[in-house]
């Protein structure tokens, strides 16, 4: 396929974006990826996309020679995946405000230049439209053929998974050492494909979070009042400013959606009642009812009790929702006992039926694409502990960048899920240097012994990370048959026994 050369004005905009990316800190320290990106873009600028093939890239960029065998040498695929991860990191950081973005679609090497949604002006809109149709992002339109093919692959994966599930015996809660990555029928790469809606309740402007996701200003609502708080710190999130606005009172959201199944996330925090706020009230001070298309989602919902206190981010997730016959998802929020409801944000993602989407998060401040083409969220849902980043690579993995950072100390994660059974995979890396400490004598690994519990039940007891990492720096443990608590959370506690607890990443997969 030969792609037409862009027009002069469009070409200059593309070149300007490429120059900005190449001169960023993310790519200055990765010259080989910068060379790959420059090569691919120059071919795109010249309309020579038919020459962007795995073989030619291996020869022209990585100097593999005419005998290059792409079947046995995966250099191009590996480096292209690393390039996708670097681009994601750039647009989550330095390039977060760019309207034009360079995209390398999964399974392809031809770069695309997609237009991101324009930020909402800082001034509050006079009257938000009650039922404004949601525009389909340009990137979604351009990737539609790819996603159609991905959907067919997904159907085949789902059919295979169903057959496997039918033959699998029910397992009690158990742990496994360094398991194979669990198979799961899902899109091959991270951010969900399809319609995505993210609304920051009560906010007059848009917001880009640590994961690089754009949340639009408040829209599609009727009733209630936009409220802003000056609270500086919210627990269990890296995005405290995300929770400084809310919609309060009795109100309704009418959100246009394409036909399909969706996963809904409702984000709350109690910023009024409780000793850490006004000093008045706490549990029972605010009770909320939430209905979706007339059916109850939450009844007498107490944010303070659900989150375990005030000023704590609380996420409730609801799979398997669909728009009503009029093509809209109608969400009604009302308070009890004369106290209004409160809402921080709404997130709607393409669903996976009755199961929630897998959760993958790393103890780091930016998102990450792993070598198996999965998208990992930056650190979220945590409380306690500290982040640490390391320059030295670990052994025992083909993706050492995934283990570049950790959360250490005495900490916990409250991961929101729907009712059901779950598998949790925990990723650790043994380090020979503890944060802010000198290298131990004789180069011995730092001593870290700790317990890991899920909703009060032991997953790991007296887990000695140094001892478990004799053959490899990387240690992986899997626990199955885990159930959420009454608040819809998998509450993971990492409690030191000797030294500090440590964690690199968490995977949560529905069974």
Residues 334 and 407 occupy one common structural domain: no
pLDDT score recorded for residue 170:
38
Nearest 5°: CA angle at 403, between 356 and 190?
A: 30
pLDDT of residue 11 exceeding 80: yes
Residues 344 and 380 occupy one common structural domain: no
Q: Is the dihedral of CA 33, 34, 36, 41 positive or negative?
A: positive
| Domain assignment present for 419 | yes
- E-strand stretches of 122-204: 174-177, 197-200
Sequence-ordered list of residues with C-beta below 8 angstroms from that of 146, at least 6 positions apart, any chain: 105, 106, 107, 108
Domain boundary among 87, 115, 143: 115
The string of pLDDT tens digits covering residues 54-78 is: 999 999 998 888 888 876 677 888 7
Q: What's the number of domains the chain is made of?
A: 3
pLDDT of residue 479 exceeding 60: yes
The string of pLDDT tens digits covering residues 298-333 is: 999 999 999 999 999 999 999 999 999 999 999 999
pLDDT score recorded for residue 3:
59
Which helix or strand (DSSP H or E) is residue 341 part of?
Answer: strand 341-343
Contact 306, 300 (CB under 8 A): no
* Domain with 406 in it: 359-510
pLDDT score recorded for residue 131:
42
pLDDT of residue 132 exceeding 60: no
Q: Of 53-57, 262-266, 412-416, 478-482, give the lowest mean pLDDT range.
A: 53-57
What is the pTM (predicted TM-score) of this model? 0.68
pLDDT score recorded for residue 65:
85
* Average pLDDT over every residue of 185-201: 64
Q: Identify the band that residue 437 occupies on the pLDDT scale cut at 50, 70 and 90.
A: very low
Q: Identify the band that residue 178 occupies on the pLDDT scale cut at 50, 70 and 90.
A: low
Residues 105 and 237 occupy one common structural domain: no
Q: Of 163-177, 230-244, 258-272, give the lowest mean pLDDT range.
A: 163-177
Distances (CA, A) of 77 to 253, 375, 388: 44, 17, 30
Closest CA to 17 of 106, 108, 111: 111
Residues 237 and 363 occupy one common structural domain: no
Domain boundary among 306, 331, 350: 350
| Domain assignment present for 182 | no
CATH number, domain with residue 459: 2.60.120
Domain boundary among 331, 350, 369: 350
Q: Identify the band that residue 173 occupies on the pLDDT scale cut at 50, 70 and 90.
A: low
pLDDT score recorded for residue 156:
55
pLDDT of residue 81 exceeding 90: no
């Amino acid at each position: 396929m030969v792609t037409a050369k862009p027009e002069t004005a469009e070409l200059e905009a593309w070149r300007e974006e490429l120059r900005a990316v190449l001169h960023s800190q993310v790519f200055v320290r990765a010259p080989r990826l910068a060379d790959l990106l420059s090569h691919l873009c120059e071919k795109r600028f010249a309309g020579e996309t038919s020459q962007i093939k795995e073989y030619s890239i291996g020869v022209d960029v990585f100097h593999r020679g005419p005998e290059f065998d792409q079947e046995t040498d995966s250099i191009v695929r590996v480096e292209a995946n690393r390039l996708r991860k670097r681009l994601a990191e750039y647009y989550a950081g330095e390039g977060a405000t760019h309207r034009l973005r360079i995209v390398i679609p999964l399974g392809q090497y031809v770069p695309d230049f997609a237009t991101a949604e324009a930020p909402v002006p800082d001034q509050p809109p006079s009257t938000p439209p009650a039922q404004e149709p949601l525009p389909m992002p340009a990137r979604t339109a351009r990737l539609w053929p790819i996603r159609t093919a991905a959907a067919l692959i997904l159907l085949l994966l789902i059919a295979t998974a169903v057959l496997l599930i039918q033959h699998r015996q029910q397992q009690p809660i158990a742990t496994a050492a360094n398991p194979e990555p669990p198979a799961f029928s899902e899109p091959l790469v991270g951010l969900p494909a399809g319609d995505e809606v993210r609304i920051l309740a009560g906010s007059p402007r848009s917001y880009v979070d640590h994961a690089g996701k754009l949340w639009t200003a408040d829209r599609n609502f009727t009733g209630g009042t936009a409220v802003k708080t000056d609270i500086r710190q919210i627990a269990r999130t890296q995005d405290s400013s995300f929770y400084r606005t809310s919609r309060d009172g009795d109100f309704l959201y009418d959100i246009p959606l394409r036909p399909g199944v969706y996963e809904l996330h409702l984000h709350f925090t109690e910023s009024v009642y409780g000793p850490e706020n006004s000093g008045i009230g706490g549990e029972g001070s605010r009770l909320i009812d939430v209905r979706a298309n007339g059916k109850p989602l939450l009844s007498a919902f107490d944010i303070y009790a659900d989150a375990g206190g005030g000023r704590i981010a609380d996420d409730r997730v609801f799979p398997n929702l669909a728009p009503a016959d009029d093509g809209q998802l109608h969400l009604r929020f009302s308070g009890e006992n004369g106290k209004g409801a409160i809402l921080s944000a709404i997130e709607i993602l393409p669903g996976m039926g009755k199961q929630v989407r897998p959760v993958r998060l790393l103890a780091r401040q930016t998102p990450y694409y792993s070598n198996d083409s999965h998208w990992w969220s930056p650190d979220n849902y945590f409380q306690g502990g500290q982040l640490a980043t390391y320059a030295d690579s670990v052994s025992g993995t083909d993706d050492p960048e995934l283990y570049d950072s950790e959360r250490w100390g005495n900490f916990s994660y409250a991961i929101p899920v729907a009712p059901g059974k779950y598998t949790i995979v925990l990723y650790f890396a043994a380090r020979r240097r503890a944060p802010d400490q000198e290298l131990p004598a004789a180069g011995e690994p730092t001593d870290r012994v700790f317990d890991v519990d899920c909703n009060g039940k032991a997953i790991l007891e007296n887990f000695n990370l140094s001892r478990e990492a004799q053959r490899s720096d990387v240690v992986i443990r899997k626990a199955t048959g885990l159930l959420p608590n009454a608040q819809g959370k998998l509450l993971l506690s990492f409690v030191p026994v000797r030294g500090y607890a440590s964690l690199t990443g968490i995977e949560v997969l529905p069974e």
